[in-house]
Structures are given as structure tokens and as C-alpha cells.
Structure 1
Amino acid sequence: MGDNWFDAVVIGRNEGDRLARVLQRATTHARRVIYVDSGSHDDSVAQARAAGAQVVKLDPARPFTAARARNEGFAALGPDRAEFVHFVDGDCILHTDWPETATVFLQQNPKAGLVHGYNVEEAPDESVYNWLTNQEWQHQTGPDANGIGIFLARSAAFAQVGGFRDDMIAAEDDELFFRLRKAGWQTWCVPEAMAAHDVRLHAFLPWFRRMIRAGHGFAELGMLHEGAARMSRLRAVVWAGVLPALAVLGLWVWWPLGVLVMALYAMSAARLWRRCRSQGLSSYRAAKAAALLVIVKFAHLYGMALYWGGRFRRSDAKIIEYK
């Protein structure tokens, strides 16, 4: 019932062999597939053509962003586009039942501008970084869900709000969802498995860069939409800015202040450890995850500083790659 009700826009950059599986699943269900390539150096373009997708290669004269890629893919569909369009990242394989679930949902809910389900990491137990990423995907369900770059949209709603902001390097999905809701559309998350994601994070630095990118997005969202990501920004400022400053001040003024700050970090880590243990992690891995969840505030604050520094210099943001 759901097949051929939608077109698909798949974006990618050097996704390797996985792209063939992503495209195979998309072409199985979609009426038409556009593959948008952001300067790949591997055989991604050849794989896309072999799979029967129409290829759009982004002009490198302008900065590559996922937002720009999705917009250009949507534009390539032209005026004869389907009623719905599914945006898919090149490292995400749609679940077999999801396309029908999503198209039927939009058909039955005319106020829904889009719908997405859950991304699930293919290998959450391979590393604590994969596990943390899998936790990120567990969005609250309902008609005003947070953003995610993989979703089935009503083409008319997407076009009405002008698509993504091309220049955003992070949180472009959240920003789009805000504008859709302001335009009167619902942005749904339903409790269904949507896609298998392969983040492939096995080391600290790539994960930390990914979190820097998230912090950049928090800052820009807050600038564009009052109140957006407020708690995320506040936590970063307090835990990675105010408390370290107080600890340093304590070294010079009153040493118990530094001890108090360290006690706050320890209590936060202990609380996070208990939460991770309750979600099935071993004691060792829960301790590592808890430490990372404390450290992540520093990455977020750094990403926020990058955004504000670029804004002060009036320079374009550069994509933050982590893989």
C-alpha cells in the first residue's frame, strides 16, 4: 500500500559498501530515488548509478552541508515529485516495514507535515560511543517531536517552509521542525523502528568532534528560535564554564570551593553511572559512559564558542566531520 507513494532523497559522502545496501532498500520502495553526493572520493557515484538512482553532484564551490544536499535533492525531483518525499542519510538502511507505516500515517493524519521513527545503531555494543549514539536516537514520541535528518515529509509542507537552511552545519533538522510547527504542521515521531544506522565510532576524538558539532547546533538554534535548546546550552555553560571557573578561583581565594566543585562533578558522574547501569551496561562500561556524559558538556561549550566566534568574525561555518 505504501510503495510508490513517495520519492526518496539519499545523501552521502564516502559511505563505502554500505551505500549499496542503503540505495537498494530505498529503490525497492520509492517511486524515484535521487542520490546527492558531497564530493566523495570513493565509488559512491558509480554505486548510485548502478542502483538506478539519479545522481546530483554538489558543486564544491559552495560549502558542503547535509542541509544543502537534501535541498538540492528535493529540487531535482522537480514539479512532478510525489506527494511524499523520504530523506535518507547514506549510512542509514530503512527497515522493510517502515515505508508503508510512514506513508499510511501521513495519509491518515493530514496535519502531519512529516513523520519519523527510531534510528537504531547496528552495533551499539561494539563501543561505548556507539551505545551513547543509540541513546541519542530515542526521541520522545508525539506530534511535536525533535528533529532528525531521516524522515518522510509531505512534499507540500516541506516546500511551503522553504526546506532546510543551506548554511547550517548542525541541528538543521531541529531548525526545520521548528519552522514547520510555526507554520501549523505537526512533526511526528512514532514508536516504530525506522532505520538501522552505522555511526562507527570506536575512539574518543571522533566522538568528541561529533559532540562539538552538536554544541554548534545548540548555539545556532538558540539564535534562530527563542528558547530552542535552552537547557542544553545552559548545562554546557554551567558544567563546562561556570564550575571550572569557580574551581580555579578556589585555588586562589578559598580552596574548599574547588573541593566543592569536584564533589559536584563526582555526584553527577555517580548519578549518570546508576542510570547507565539501569539501562544494561556493565559496571566498567557504565563508568566510561558516565565520564563521557560529564565530558560532553565541554565539547558542547566549545562548539557553541565556535559558532559565536564565527558569527563575530562574520565568517561562514565549516562542516565538522567526525568520520
Structure 2
Amino acid sequence: MTPVDVVLIGRNEGARLVAALASIRGAARQVVYVDSGSTDDSLAEARRAGATVVALDLGCPFTAARARNAGFAALSEPQFVQFIDGDCALVPGYLGRARAHLEDNPKTGLVTGWRSEIRRDASLYNQLADFEWRRPAGEILACGGDMMVRAEAFRAVGGFDPTVIAAEDDEFCTRLRKAGWRLERIPQEMTRHDADMHRFGQWWTRAVRTGHGFAQVGALHPEYFTKERRRVLVYGLALPLVIAGGLLWWPLAPLGLAVYAANYLRTVRGLRREGLPRGEALRHGLLLALSKIPNLIGMATYHWRRGRNAQMRIIEYK
């Protein structure tokens, strides 16, 4: 049976990290916790749980990609590595199912499962995050940071790109696919996540970070995130300019608003087809329509940083 090791990354996760460590206990051969400058008791809690602790150098910008690479490097002769974010708890039995899938499918370089929110209905923003996680099983283009990776595949592509501050998992997955590896989501519960988003400002900042990822990963892989970037430019930039143009010629404003309304209704219908209740679909549709503006800010932030050769620093929403 192929051994499974776990790399857990975090920063000031508090009780969430304690729960994550408890969920891993006894399930893996090696557990490495990588800390990105926590000021709480994260390091002590990880040591208390028996994990190998890696504290990242404070002199370099923190990124999830950098943390995962450091965790992988700290493992002894890894074969299958499960990466987990510090605000997630592992679902019992998942590691065994993911391991079996990799053992049975040697061309598969990465396996993921279903992530769900621990407190889904605590806020509209948690609900939206929960919906984002629930994607169909089968072959996939990319997944989030909770994933089991074949060490051979990880090494073949050089791990994560530590300069990518958002959507680093998409970027990593894209290089895996280009290297000929298959990526799959199996129909199994994998982790329980605690987004802990209760304020509009948290959601807005998260959407800014998402836009930064669209731009940065798109610059590295122009064929990826093309639809997402196009939507942001249309609904986050072009249409607001059309509406603003109504100050000069009034018919432009209602025209732009009508396009927004049509897009909103189309989004709601799509959410309803995917199984969301009507009330949730109406509310989620508003956030998805509005998200193009902070996405645009994130994209502009990336291009501003790139143009000035500035450091790509993480954008934290909690």
C-alpha cells in the first residue's frame, strides 16, 4: 500500500487549525505544517499534535504556493501527498479512497474530492463559497488547494510557482495537464472548509484576489481563464463606461442597465438549473454580477504591479 503524507499550510487559523490537525491524526505517514508568519498559537498547536513544523522566512513575501513547496521539501521520500489548507478538516476515509484511485490509475497525477462549508448557512458569502466547491466528478482542468498529488508528477513540473499569489492551484494544475498528467475529481467528500465570511468587505476582498489570479495566471497561460477575463472586461469595465456615457447621451444608461439585467436573469436561471433554491439563486446572482467590479480591480492591481516590477503580495480576506 502506497504511503500518504499530508502537507498542511496556514496563518493565524486558531481553532480551525486545531480541528484540521485533529482530522489528520493517525491518517497519514508524515504530517508537515507550514506556517506563514502566524502570531497566534499555530506553531505550538502543530507541534503539540506531532506535526513537523516549517516556519517560512519572514523576509520573503508569503504565498500559498511557497508554503506548499516548503512542505513538500520537508517530507522524506514522499509518494502520494495530500495538500490541505489550514481552515479545512479532512473527512474520514477520504485519504484511502484517493490513494486507491491514484494506485489504480498511473496516468493520473492529481486527485481531489468535494469540499463543503462547515457553516454553510451562517452567511450568504459562506453559501456562495459552498456552491463554488461543489463541482461535478470526473476529469477536470483544475481544482482548489485541497488535493492529493503524485510526488513524481509534482517533481516533474517543479511544484507550485511561488510568485503566483492567487489561483496558484489553477496554475499548477495547468502545468500538470500540459505535462501529460490526468487530473480527476472523485465523487467523495474530502474536506470541510470554514470560509468564515460574514462581512461584505471580506467577500469583496476575496473577489479582488480572484481577479488578480485571473490576470496573473492568464499572463502565464493565455489560453486559461479567457472567458473569465472577458466577462470582467465586459461587465466590470465596458458596461460601466456605457452607463457613464449616459451623462453625455441619455439612451446609453438604460441600454447598459438592460444588459446587466439580462445577464443577471441568465445567471439566476443557470444557478437554478444547478439545483440552488430560488431565494439563494436570486441573492447569489447579485453577488456574481457585482463580482466583476472587484475582479477588475484585482486584474488592474496585477498589471500595475507587473508594470512597476513590484512584488506580488498576497491579498487576505480574513
Among candidates 271, 289, 300, match of residue 266 of structure 2: 271
Report deviation, 1:53. 0.3
- Equivalences for residues 74-93 of structure 1 within 5 A: 74-77=72-75, 80-93=76-89
Q: 1:147·1:176 contact (CA, 8 Å) conserved in 2?
A: no
Instruction: Indicate yes or no: 2:250 matched with 1:255.
Output: yes
Which SS does the other structure have where 1:194 is aligned? Answer: strand
Aligned runs of 1:226-305 on 2, under 5 Å? 226-252=222-248, 254-276=249-271, 279-281=275-277, 283=279, 285-305=280-300
Q: State the one-letter code of the partner of 1:189.
A: R
Deviation of the 1:302 alpha carbon: 0.8
CA distance 1:276–1:184, shift in 2 (3 Å): closer
**TM-align CA RMSD:** 1.5
Match of 2:317 in 1: 322
Contact 1:27 1:53 in 2 (8 A): no
Shift of 1:282: 5.4
CA deviation vs aligned residue, 1:109-133 (integer Å, no higher than 9, x gap):
0001110011111111111101111
Q: Which amino acid aligns with 1:313?
A: R
User: Structure 2 CA distance, aligned partners of 1:75 and 1:61?
Assistant: 19
Q: Does 1:46 align with 2:44?
A: yes
Aligned pair 1:111/2:107, yes or no? Answer: yes
Partners of 2:202 and 2:310 lie apart in 1 by 24
* 2:304 matched residue in structure 1: 309
Q: Return the offset for 1:286.
A: 3.9
Distance 2:305 2:163 in 1: 13
Unmatched segments (≥5 aa) in structure 1: none
Q: 1:277 to 1:139 in 2, by over 3 A?
A: closer
Query: How far apart are 1:24 and its partner, in Å?
Result: 1.8
One-letter amino acid matched to 2:6: A
Deviating more after overlay: 257-266 vs 59-68 = 257-266
Residues 28, 101 of structure 1: alpha-carbon distance in 2 compared, 3 angstrom cutoff? same
Percent identity between the two aligned chains: 46
**Partner Cα distance (1:135, 1:9) in 2:** 25
Aligned residues: 317
Q: Shift of residue 274 of structure 1?
A: 4.2
Q: 2:130 aligns with which of 131, 134, 138?
A: 134
The one-letter code of the counterpart of 1:47 is E
Give, in angstroms, the shift of residue 141 of structure 1: 2.9
1:191 corresponds in structure 2 to 187
What does 1:103-182 correspond to in 2, within 5 Å? Answer: 103-182=99-178
* Structure 1 counterpart SS, 2:148: strand
Task: With the length of structure 1 as denominator, give the TM-score of the two structures.
Answer: 0.94
Query: Match of 1:121, as an amino acid?
Result: E
| Match of residue 217 from structure 1 | 213
Cα separation, 1, equivalents of 2:80 and 2:215: 31
On the 8 A contact 2:112/2:143 being kept in 1, the answer is no
Contact 1:147 1:175 in 2 (8 A): no
Give the deviation of 1:184 after TM superposition: 1.1
Q: Give the Å deviation of 1:289.
A: 2.0
How many Å separate the matches in 2 of 1:280 and 1:190? 22
Moved more, 23-32 or 105-114: 23-32
Aligned equivalent of 1:8: 6
Secondary structure of residue in 1 paired with 2:122:
coil
Of 3, 16, 19 in structure 2, the residue corresponding to residue 18 of structure 1 is 16
Cα distance, 1:287 vs structure 2: 3.4
**Structure 2: gaps (5+ residues):** none
Q: Is the 8 A contact 1:120 1:137 kept in 2?
A: yes
Query: What is the identity, as a one-letter code, of the residue corresponding to 2:52?
Result: Q
1:252-296 deviation line (CA, Å, top 9, x unaligned): 0x311211111111222233344445634453x543322211110
Partners of 2:246 and 2:278 in 1: CA distance: 36
How far apart in 2 are the matches of 1:233 and 1:209?
A: 18
TM-score (norm 2): 0.96
Task: Please give the alpha-carbon distance, in whole angstroms, between the structure 1 residues aligned to 2:283 and 2:79.
Answer: 46
